[in-house]
Amino acid sequence: MNKKTQLWKGLSAAFALLLWQLLAMKIGMNILLASPVEVLKRLAGIWKETDFWSAVFFSFGRISLGFLLAFAVGIVLGILAGRLKFLEYFLFPYVTVIKTVPIASFIILCLLWMNFNQLTVLIAFLIAFPVIYTNVLQGIRSTDKKMRELAKLYRVPWQRRLIYMDMPSVKPYLLSACSVAIGMAWKAGIAAEVIGLVDGSVGEKLYQAKVYFQNADLLCWTILIILLSVLSEKIFVFLVKSVFRGVEKL
């Protein structure tokens, strides 16, 4: 990112904060919209509260676990479906249902079947899985058919085909999928915690802020969720890129 781009993004962010401040001043009621200054003050003190880190680690751990499961299952099934047409057809209705059913419906149905503590993991998995699966499948489809035929003709081992043919084709699709799926997993996971009132979670903190009309806390936790989501995305994408670089050196 060059300096000019950074400057414009910085100015855009500053303008957005100014609009926020002016709107808060216009409304004049903290209960409806806290100002950026009030939210920053709350951010400076909220991490000192006794249950802050336990809530962060609780939600971070479960949402991350759900995403990692979706990542692993999505890659395996995406590669297999790309090779076996009947498997793609078999999975089609399930993937379609997962992609189209409203997240609130999934949350309510899951609340009938399982423990609240497991809800976040499952919802994060269900939201992230179709994104990973469809992108990996598309990456496998983009592999050069002539190269596949040559590899089959010369009986190239599947491990070498996976490393030197499939992985380069899948790489851009998978990196793009990770960036999208992690953010979606956080949104869905927190929504599940709010609707399910999962004890000790970030979602519970959001719900409490709403019930007690603590607008500064509500915005503060929202900002923290955004930061956690972005941090998770940056770390995971970096790790995936590192794995691809390591494989490319083989």
Distances (CA, A) of 80 to 84, 89, 108, 119: 6, 12, 32, 28
Q: Which two tokens stand for residue 206?
A: 């959001």
What is the per-residue pLDDT across 79-104, written as a single tens digit (0 to 9) for each?
Answer: 899 888 899 999 999 999 999 988 88
- Specify the DSSP element, H or E, that contains 138: helix 116-141
The separation between CA 67 and the C-alpha centre of its own chain, rounded to angstroms, equals: 7
Q: Please report the pLDDT score of residue 167 as a whole number.
A: 81
Confidence of residue 144 (pLDDT cuts 50, 70, 90): low
What is the per-residue pLDDT across 24-62, written as a single tens digit (0 to 9) for each?
Answer: 888 888 888 888 989 999 988 888 888 899 999 999 999
Q: Please report the pLDDT score of residue 1 as a whole number.
A: 59
Q: Please report the pLDDT score of residue 230 as a whole number.
A: 93
Q: Please report the pLDDT score of residue 153 as a whole number.
A: 66
Confidence of residue 141 (pLDDT cuts 50, 70, 90): confident
Dist CA 107 CA 233 (whole Å): 24
- Say whether pLDDT at 147 is over 80: no
Confidence of residue 250 (pLDDT cuts 50, 70, 90): low
Q: Please report the pLDDT score of residue 50 as a whole number.
A: 84
Single pTM value for the model: 0.89
Angle at CA of residue 129, ends 127 and 130, nearest 5°: 85
Q: Please report the pLDDT score of residue 244 as a whole number.
A: 85
Nearest-CA neighbor of 136 among 64, 199, 70, 43?
70
Contacts of 196 (CB under 8 A, 6+ apart): 107, 111, 116, 119, 203
Q: Please report the pLDDT score of residue 158 as a whole number.
A: 65
pLDDT, averaged across the chain: 88
Contacts of 180 (CB under 8 A, 6+ apart): 131
CA pseudo-torsion sign 136, 141, 147, 149: positive
Q: Please report the pLDDT score of residue 47 as a whole number.
A: 87
Nearest-CA neighbor of 215 among 22, 13, 14, 42?
42
Dist CA 93 CA 86 (whole Å): 13
Q: Of 227 and 146, which is predicted with more confidence?
A: 227
Q: Please report the pLDDT score of residue 149 as a whole number.
A: 65
